Structure 1
Amino acid sequence: MSDEATAEVLKALQSALAAEHAAVYGYGVVGGRIGAQRLTEARSAYDAHRARRDALAREVRDAGAVPVAASAAYALPFEVTDATTAARLAAELEARVADVYSDLVRAAGGEQRGSAAAALREAAVRAVRWSGESVAFPGLAERDAPLGRAGGPATATAMPSAASTP
């Protein structure tokens, strides 16, 4: 792999890691507001994002880089006050994660690409479960959709903000 391709993969890994940090934080908010009916689903997603986050941090270290750190706090895209807005936030988190993994799928190859594709698929399925809406190609053309939709634009920097608190 060329130095340029290696740098592109590392950048995509770091972006995915940043998105996973934000998702872990966001699911802390979701869990506090989702209500008993969907709490198990929120916990499962939280655990999945923690596992992906830890795996990505290992991949970044294995590539000889320092993993991007989590922010102390993240600005939420909207106020989360009840189970309905908590589910909407969960769908938004999943859409954002799917978008970042699509970049990693494009940049990576081999087993790493397969792992990124699996992560994209898992996030897309969770987004549909939370929102009740699906998109044809998660993480691709939907980047131009308005925020707040399951397929809305999602960059790792769209939500994180160390200066903001929920």
Structure 2
Amino acid sequence: MTAPIPDSDGALAATQAALGAEHAAVWCCGLATAFLPASAAQPLADAALAHRQRRDALLARLEASGQQPVPAAAAYATPRPVTDAASAAALLVTAEDDVAGAWRAVLERTDDRDLRTTGVAAMTAATTVGRRWRALAGITPTVPTMPGTAPTG
């Protein structure tokens, strides 16, 4: 990703929001590590690495464009307290859903081939990884009907 991000049609704001979602997902993976069983360690490490790689690529692209990337927060508010494996997995579901939603917004606002390729890959990964965390948290269905959209009901 080397071309500037256009500042029209909300593409830049959506890209910054996707960066923010990736920052948060990295943080959530770190928190969840303390609560998930050992059997989830490798999938969690793989998910965290994918989020870090997308985050770092976005940081580099924004900086190369002369934009100030949105910084990571020191910590993030969780929707519910994280106290066990199920609540940690539910937090990861929220993080993956947020990532999918943020990247969907990028897809809706840009024609940039690199951003679109990254966005489709990010949505696919968030849906695939989210399925694992939904199963661990006891959330059904394990795959959302429309990945990247706010859950209904």
Scaled by the length of structure 1, the TM-score of the pair is 0.79
- The answer to whether the 8 A contact 1:102-1:139 is kept is yes
User: What are the equivalent positions in structure 2 for 1:80-119 lying under 5 Å apart?
Assistant: 80-109=82-111, 110-119=113-122
* Counterpart among 129, 134, 138 of residue 147 in structure 2: 138
Distance 2:68 2:96 in 1: 25
Coordinate RMSD, CA, aligned: 1.7
Structure 2: runs of 5 or more not aligned: 136-141
Q: Is 1:124–2:134 an aligned residue pair?
A: no
Percentage identity across aligned positions?
Answer: 35
Q: For residue 117 of structure 1, what is the amino acid of its counterpart?
A: V
Distance apart, 1:112 and its partner CA: 1.8
Q: What's the TM-score once normalised by structure 2's chain length?
A: 0.86
CA distance in 2 between counterparts of 1:72 and 1:24 reads: 12
The ranges of structure 1 where at least 4 consecutive aligned residues each deviate by more than 4 angstroms after the TM superposition are none
Q: Distance in 2 between matches of 1:51 and 1:72?
A: 19
Check conservation: 1:124, 1:138, Cα contact below 8 A. Answer: yes
Aligned length: 142
Contact 1:10 1:63 in 2 (8 A): no
2:26 and 2:48 in contact (8 A); partners too: yes
Structure 1 stretches of 5 or more lacking a match?
147-166
Contact 1:95 1:138 in 2 (8 A): yes
The letter of the residue matching 2:8 is E
Give the Cα–Cα distance (whole angstroms) in 2 for the partners of residues 46 and 3 of structure 1.
29
Letter in 2 for 1:139: G
